[in-house]
């Protein structure tokens, strides 16, 4: 991997830390510094080291998976010197830096106005060519919606995981047969253009150097960053509890593996009919993950008076994002356009 990176970056300028700071100091104002490193203390230490080189009007854009409370503390601290701090949620696979991610920036309107032209150039584009980025609102709103995005993501992955477990343990399907099921689902109207369904096909078929399927050897746990903490998924569950939101799918996803019924081989009258029922259940559960996540966001939005535009937020997630899901997004777009004031969007007549 290091060799590949060296080859790909051949000809790029390489800097020592001191050279980097000197170049930052010499740049024209306002300067925009973008970083993405592990959340928590590493981010705080980076900002602390960078601060002496920043002046009034400069912008620091944190594209890490940071806890929104840390974002807001840094915003308040840097504001004393007139420095803007933008917390920007970034979603995409490990190639998103090259292939364009979904981006949700939050912070002071003055700073967002300056950085949005840049973000629109680098963000993923939807089918019409519109950039999948939009200013969320002040404070830590950008990192907050990304946190809940990751909670939705883990809920969706738990749905896939449970379905896969029933297919392979209950119905005794091979990995290749399970891949075929997900491949067929990816072409169905309700689940088409659902990224996590799409990649499940490849995941089922992937083998290691020894020719063994890797899926059966993966740890039943979702972690982020180099410190292997669970981060945003756990924070989403904590927020649901704190705000008294019954986000059952998201909260149970956090303990899915330990609470799973240990399936034995199932005797069914028709595997075809059961698999079709599973497809319908999977679609419904994915829809629930979205509505529960949006309900958490709506509650904090009302408490903080952020005035989030939910159609814009759904569009941000419509391409480049791990949770992009064509049919679900289309349905929720329709619901939010027709009943913007309704509390529980899932109960709309749509």
- The number of angstroms, rounded, from the C-alpha of 226 to the middle of its chain's C-alpha atoms is 17
Q: Tell me how crowded residue 131 is: count the other CB atoms within 10 A of its CB.
A: 21
The residues annotated with a catalytic role in the active site are 146, 153
Which among 51, 126, 127, 46 has a CA at the least distance from the CA of 83?
Answer: 51
**Residue 301 backbone dihedrals phi, psi, to 5 degrees:** -60, -45
* Pairwise CA distance, residues 158 & 243, whole Å: 23
Tokens of 46: 């980076």
* Pairwise CA distance, residues 53 & 317, whole Å: 34
Burial 11-44 (b: 16+ CB within 10 A, else e): eeeeeeeeeeeeeeeeeeebbebbeeebbbebbe
* Pairwise CA distance, residues 18 & 181, whole Å: 54
């Amino acid at each position: 991997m290091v060799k590949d990176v060296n080859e790909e970056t051949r000809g790029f300028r390489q800097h020592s830390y001191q050279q980097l700071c000197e170049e930052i100091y010499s740049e024209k104002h306002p300067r925009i510094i973008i970083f993405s490193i592990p959340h928590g203390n590493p981010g705080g230490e980076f900002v602390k080291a960078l601060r002496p080189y920043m002046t009034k009007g400069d912008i620091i854009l944190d594209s890490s998976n940071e806890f929104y409370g840390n974002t807001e503390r840094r915003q308040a601290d840097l504001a004393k010197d007139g420095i803007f701090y933008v917390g920007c949620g970034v979603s995409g696979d490990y190639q998103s830096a090259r292939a364009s991610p979904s981006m949700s920036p939050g912070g002071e309107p003055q700073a967002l106005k300056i950085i949005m032209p840049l973000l629109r150039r680098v963000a993923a584009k939807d089918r019409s060519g519109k950039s999948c980025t939009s200013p969320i609102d002040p404070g830590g709103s950008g990192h907050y919606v990304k946190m809940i995005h990751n909670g939705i993501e883990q809920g969706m992955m738990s749905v896939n995981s449970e379905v896969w477990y029933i297919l392979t343990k209950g119905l005794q399907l091979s990995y290749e047969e399970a891949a075929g099921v997900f491949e067929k689902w990816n072409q169905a109207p309700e689940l088409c253009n659902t990224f996590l369904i799409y990649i499940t096909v490849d995941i089922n078929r992937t083998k290691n150097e020894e020719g063994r399927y890797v899926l059966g050897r993966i740890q039943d746990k979702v972690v982020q960053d180099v410190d292997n903490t669970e981060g945003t998924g756990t924070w989403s569950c904590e927020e649901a509890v704190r705000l008294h939101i019954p986000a059952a799918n998201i909260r149970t996803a956090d303990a899915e593996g330990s609470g799973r019924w240990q399936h034995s081989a199932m005797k069914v009258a028709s595997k075809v009919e059961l698999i079709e029922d599973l497809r319908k259940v999977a679609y419904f559960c994915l829809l629930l993950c979205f509505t529960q996540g949006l309900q958490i966001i709506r509650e904090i939005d009302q408490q903080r008076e952020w005035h989030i535009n939910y159609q814009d937020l759904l569009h941000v997630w419509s391409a480049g994002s791990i949770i992009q899901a064509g049919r679900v997004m289309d349905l929720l777009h329709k619901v939010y356009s027709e009943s913007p004031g309704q509390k529980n969007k899932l109960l709309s007549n749509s």
